[in-house]
Amino acid sequence: MSELLKVENLSVSFDTPQGTVHAVRDVSFSLRPGEVLAIVGESGCGKSVLCKSVMKLLPGTARVESGRIIADGRDITHLTEREMCRLRGKLFSMVFQDPMTSLNPTLPIGRQIEEAIQIHEPRIGRKALHDRVIELMELVGIEQAEERCKLYPYNFSGGMRQRSVMAIALAGNPKMLFADEPTTALDVTIQAQILDLLREIQQKLGTATILVSHDLGVVARAADRVAVMYAGKIVEIGTAEEIYYDPRHPYTWGLMQALPALAAERGELKAIPGMPPTLIDLPKGDAFACRNAWALAIDYEEEPPMFRISDTHYAATWLLDERAPKIPVPVGGKAYG
Per CB under 8 A, residues contacting another protein are 42-43, 158, 187-193, 196, 214-218, 220-221, 223, 240-241, 244, 254-264, 269-273, 275-276, 336
72 versus 241: smaller Cβ distance to another protein: 241
- Report the interhelical angle of 188-205 vs 158-169 (nearest 10°): 20
28 versus 184: smaller Cβ distance to another protein: 184
The closest alpha carbon to 147, from 106, 190, 109, 189, belongs to: 109
Question: ∠ at Cα 36 (312, 116), nearest 5°?
Answer: 145
271 versus 297: smaller Cβ distance to another protein: 271
Shortest distance (Å) from residue 242 CB to another protein: 10
C-alpha distances in angstroms, 330 versus 227, 233, 250, 266, 293? 20, 23, 9, 12, 12
Shortest distance (Å) from residue 241 CB to another protein: 6
Shortest distance (Å) from residue 134 CB to another protein: 23
68 versus 214: smaller Cβ distance to another protein: 214
Q: Which amino acid is at 158?
A: G
Beta strands in the chain (DSSP E): 5-16, 19-31, 36-40, 62-71, 74-75, 92-95, 176-180, 208-213, 225-230, 233-239, 307-308, 314-315
For residue 184, the tally of other CB atoms under 10 A from its CB is: 14
185-200: b (≥16 Cβ within 10 Å) or e: bbeeebbebbbebbbe
Shortest distance (Å) from residue 203 CB to another protein: 12
89 versus 276: smaller Cβ distance to another protein: 276
d(CA 17, CA 19): 6
Shortest distance (Å) from residue 273 CB to another protein: 8
11 versus 48: smaller Cβ distance to another protein: 48
116 versus 142: smaller Cβ distance to another protein: 142
d(CA 133, CA 111): 9
Residues 31 and 5: beta-carbon distance below 8 Å: yes
Q: Which amino acid is at 217?
A: G
